[in-house]
Amino acid sequence: MHFDSKSQKSQERASFLVIGGFLGAGKTTALLRLAQRYHELGKRVGLITNDQAAHLVDTGTLRVRGFRVEEVAGACFCCKFDELAQCAERLREEERPHVLLGEPVGSCTDLAATVVAPMRTMYGDRYDVAPYSVLVDPARARQIVLEKGFGGFSSKVAYIFLKQLEEADVLCLNKVDTLTPQLRADLMGALAAEFPKAKVVGTSGLTGEGFEEWRKLLDVGGPAGRNIADVDYDVYAEGEAELGWLNAAWEVRSERSFDADALVHDVVARTSSRIRALGHEVAHLKAMLESPSGTAVANFVGAGSTPHLSQPTRAAVSGGLLTLNARVHMDPTMLRSLADAEVAPVLTAHRAVGHATDALYFRPGRPVPTHRFTKE
């Protein structure tokens, strides 16, 4: 297709896909797989990430794969709706994407009312807003949906997790590669029974299982953001504020070379092990080392999992920028001190030194959405 004028350019419609779900559910991994699939199908793709603060591992993870990524930082999409709309518009003008994919903050809920429905209603002239997908980590679903527990968090954090499921148009039981057939059937059955308004699909961002079925559901369209949940903003705000947030960065260098993959893995393993030893639940801990030889990323998502190198570089490097993003059920000041104390010996073990460049640590503030659309 040719675009001869700016007006034709701005008439092009794009699909707008919001992929939600709790911290660590696999949103960024899924976004990347979907983006790659759309690219294979000849579609241009734009991505929008979101966090309560700057220095995002997710943005680095996606940019390094060659996609254009815009970032809404400083608050969630719902509280920065106008910025989300501007990012989308910038991508639309500059990249003319067929598909826009947005990843909201994993501790947010009420997104059907505050993001999906406003986008559909206010920008329906330029976007086909797809059904709202929520990814579910099976280990957390087992704890909170099947066993009716709180997943190592408090009842208020579990409340957010359940509200996220309630407002989904499509529920993806993700990471099905980790499940026995019996547990998979039990979880699929429980999700379908407890959230009957949603279509339930089994997916794996690692193997790609279920992604075509899911993508077709998104491409066909249908109701988007119409499952508005009744959300108690006091409980929601208190639940979010129980999570300590840390985005920290270090300039790392070494007289000799070190293994980038082993370094990020060890940062995550050592830090998460210390947090768990103190009795706190990790929602997501991610470490990224950006160097001229590539970007290495490691993650730990709690719920009985083990540290995982999600993006290897297989490179020996002499330095780079190390970024740590931690979302943990603990005091953020303690989290910051703990991270400083645990990262230093890992660097020493790899014969590297680190200079802390930045550290943002806080509890997320009360969500105050720009819009809340509850009716057609």
Ligand X SMILES: Nc1nc2c(ncn2[C@@H]2O[C@H](COP(=O)(O)OP(=O)(O)OP(=O)(O)O)[C@@H](O)[C@H]2O)c(=O)[nH]1
Q: Give residues in contact with Mg ion (CB under 5 A).
A: 27-28, 58
Rg, C-alpha atoms of the chain: 20
- Minimum distance from residue 172 beta carbon to ligand X (Å): 9
Residues near 40 by Cβ (< 8 Å), separated by ≥ 6?
none
Name which of 62 and 200 has its Cβ closer to Mg ion: 62
Site string for ligand X, 81-120 (x = CB under 6 A): -------------------------x--------------
Q: Does 58 participate in binding ligand X (rule CB under 6 A)?
A: yes
- Minimum distance from residue 93 beta carbon to ligand X (Å): 27
Of residues 11 through 50, those in contact with ligand X by CB under 6 A are: 21, 23-29
The 10 Å CB-count burial string (b at 16+, else e) for 303-325 is bebebebbbbbebebebbbbbbb
Task: Please name which of 113, 215, 206, 128 lies closest in space to residue 170, comparing C-alpha atoms.
Answer: 215
Name which of 175 and 336 has its Cβ closer to ligand X: 175
310 binds, among Mg ion, ligand X, none (CB under 5 to 8 A by kind): ligand X
Name which of 62 and 117 has its Cβ closer to ligand X: 62
Site string for ligand X, 310-339 (x = CB under 6 A): x-----------------------------
Of residues 212 through 241, those in contact with ligand X by CB under 6 A are: none
Element (H, E) at 325: strand 316-328
What distance in Å separates the CA atoms of residue 139 and residue 147, rounded to the nearest whole number?
11
What distance in Å separates the CA atoms of residue 107 and residue 112, rounded to the nearest whole number?
14
Task: Please name which of 47, 77, 75, 43 lies closest in space to residue 59, comparing C-alpha atoms.
Answer: 47
Tokens matching residue 32: 């990347």
| Number of residues in contact with ligand X under rule CB under 6 A | 22
Task: Give the residue, chosen from 36, 121, 154, 178, that forms a contact with ligand X under the rule CB under 6 A.
Answer: 178
Quick check: helix, strand or coil at residue 125? Answer: coil
What number of other Cβ atoms are within 10 A of residue 333's Cβ?
Answer: 13
What distance in Å separates the CA atoms of residue 309 and residue 298, rounded to the nearest whole number?
4
- Minimum distance from residue 60 beta carbon to Mg ion (Å): 11
Enumerate binding residues for ligand X (CB under 6 A): 21, 23-29, 58, 106, 174-175, 177-178, 204-206, 284, 299, 301, 308, 310
